[in-house]
Amino acid sequence: MDGDLEEIARADLIEREPCPRCGASPGSVCRGNSGVVAVDHHTGRYAKIPALKAGTSPDKSAS
């Protein structure tokens, strides 16, 4: 169950940043060229969050 909460926390962190690839605004999901919701967030959004880029979980990086 904690794994699900970590995934939600990660998604919240990612969606706080705008997407440089598709132009999704903060709080919005990424979309493909056709406008369909992307299965996963675009990589550019991950790169803006040091804790995710380093491969650590969000709550571990805060301490």
Angle at 45 between CA 44 and CA 51, to 5 degrees: 110
Pick the closest to residue 5 from 57, 51, 44 (CA basis). Answer: 57
The reply to whether 19 falls in a domain is: no
> Is the model's pTM score more than 0.75?
no
Percentage of the chain exceeding pLDDT 90:
35
Domain assignment of residue 55, given as a range: 2-12+24-61
- Residue 18 lies inside a defined structural domain of this protein: no
Give the Cα separation of 21 and 18 in Å (integer): 9
Question: Residue 48 corresponds to which tokens in the numbers above?
Answer: 């803006």
> How many domains are there within the chain?
1
- 17 assigned to some structural domain: no
Q: What is the pLDDT averaged over residues 7-12?
A: 86
Look up residue 15 and give its amino acid: E
CB atoms within 10 A of CB 35: 7
Instruction: Give dist(CA 57, CA 29) in Å, integer.
Output: 21
Q: Is residue 53 part of a domain?
A: yes
